[in-house]
A = this chain, B = another copy of it.
Amino acid sequence: MRIFITGCAGFIGSNLTDRLLREGHEITGYDNLTTGSMEFLKEAEQNKAFTFVQGDILDPDLLTDSMRQCDFVYHLAANADVRFGTDHPRKDLEQNTIGTFNVLESMRKNKIRRIVFSSTGSIYGETVVIPTPENAPFPVQTSLYGASKLACEGLIAAYCEGFGLQAWIFRFVSILGERYTHGHVFDFYKNLLANPRELRLLGDGHQKKSYLYVQDCLDAIFLAVDKAEEKVNIFNLGTDEYCEINDSVKWITGHLGCDPALTYAGGTRGWIGDNPFIFLDCAKIHGLGWTPKLKIKEAVIKTTEFLANNQWVFKEK
């Protein structure tokens, strides 16, 4: 099978690419390299079954052309920058909503029927049901990022109904692991490198978040694609535990052997539209036989180890 992966040079995308190549698939990887890195495709590039196209999902002609001969699309390219949405509201609209529309149109033109999409637990907004199942009460959006991913989900489902596509949509918690280059562990580590005696945290440190290790995430995706046969298959992906930001800081500083003075920006939220408690009910994916192998603490430490061994990632940005 020839698989098309958007965002193949990103954190999750490059890990996905390596896994699918190891399983013997042919891959066309597509990435504009604005946040992705060719460094993450070093292993893939050794493999004859891998073809890389540097392209933007906002370039519909190149996208359609590059997708030819493919049987399946993993659409991971996105603006994943949930925190700074209000600084540039057009970015989520273009890179997520319009980009996903372009991917769907290219699939239609190439008669490709199946798509995996990386959505987010952020689309539950400030839900009152925690842990939050996939069929939680119709949520009200609180971030431009969540709103744009919701728009993508809607488009994908409508294409399934209207054009006979089949979709697997995954609402992730934050993902951790090798090649992670974006998010709170990254920021903490970077700041501690610059000054190990002090660390400033957003919010009050009690924001509760759930995290998932990237290989556990990929295991769940492969299982769902294999087993779930609805027209539109929606799954939460997370661990059955959560931690406070204060916990993850403790694990990181403990691993680094530093003891910074902690200061807090204050408030219950890290940023505008931040949800102070994201914790997903993952009973649906568990029902297919999946459980994550790593605890949040282990995933945080693996991430810290990756950052320690790959300090070039801090210079790329």
Q: Is the CB of A142 within 8 A of B158?
A: yes
User: Which B residue sits closest to A169, measured CB to CB?
Assistant: B140
* Contacts A89-B105, A136-B137, A151-B150 given; does A142 touch B157 at CB 8 Å: yes
Determine how close the nearest CB of chain B comes to the CB of A115; give it in whole angstroms. 14
Q: Is the CB of A273 within 8 A of B161?
A: yes
Number of chain copies forming the complex: 2
Contacts of A157 in B (CB 8 A): 125, 140-142, 147
Bound-state Cα–Cα, A139 to B137, Å: 9
Contacts of A153 in B (CB 8 A): 141
- Per DSSP, chain A at the interface is helix
Kindly name the residue among A105, A141, A154, A162 whose own CB sees the greatest number of chain B CB atoms within 10 A.
Answer: A154
Q: Is the CB of A147 within 8 A of B154?
A: yes
Determine how close the nearest CB of chain B comes to the CB of A169; give it in whole angstroms. 9
User: Which B residue sits closest to A273, measured CB to CB?
Assistant: B161
A135-178 interface bits toward B, Cβ cutoff 8 Å, 1 = contact, 0 = none: 11111111110111011011101110111000000000000000
Q: Is the CB of B125 within 8 A of A144?
A: no
Q: Is the CB of B232 within 8 A of A140?
A: yes
A82-95 interface bits toward B, Cβ cutoff 8 Å, 1 = contact, 0 = none: 00011001100100
Instruction: Find A144's partner among B85, B141, B155, B234 (CB 8 Å cutoff).
Output: B155
Bound-state Cα–Cα, A248 to B137, Å: 33
* Contacts A93-B98, A151-B150, A151-B151 given; does A161 touch B143 at CB 8 Å: yes
A66-106 interface bits toward B, Cβ cutoff 8 Å, 1 = contact, 0 = none: 00000000000000000001100110010001100100110
Contacts of A142 in B (CB 8 A): 157-158, 161
A272 contacts the other chain (Cβ, under 8 Å)?
yes
Interface size on A, residues (CB 8 A): 40
Contacts of A158 in B (CB 8 A): 85, 141-144, 146-147, 273
A298 contacts the other chain (Cβ, under 8 Å)?
no
A244 contacts the other chain (Cβ, under 8 Å)?
no
Interface positions, chain A 177-220, Cβ under 8 Å from B, are: none
Determine how close the nearest CB of chain B comes to the CB of A75; give it in whole angstroms. 16
Contacts of A240 in B (CB 8 A): none
A-B contact sample (14 more), CB < 8 A, given A93-B97, A144-B155, A146-B154: A85-B158, A86-B162, A125-B157, A134-B138, A135-B137, A138-B138, A141-B155, A143-B161, A144-B159, A144-B162, A147-B155, A148-B154, A150-B154, A162-B272
A residues with CB within 8 A of B: 85-86, 89-90, 93, 97-98, 101, 104-105, 125, 134-144, 146-148, 150-151, 153-155, 157-159, 161-163, 232, 234, 272-273
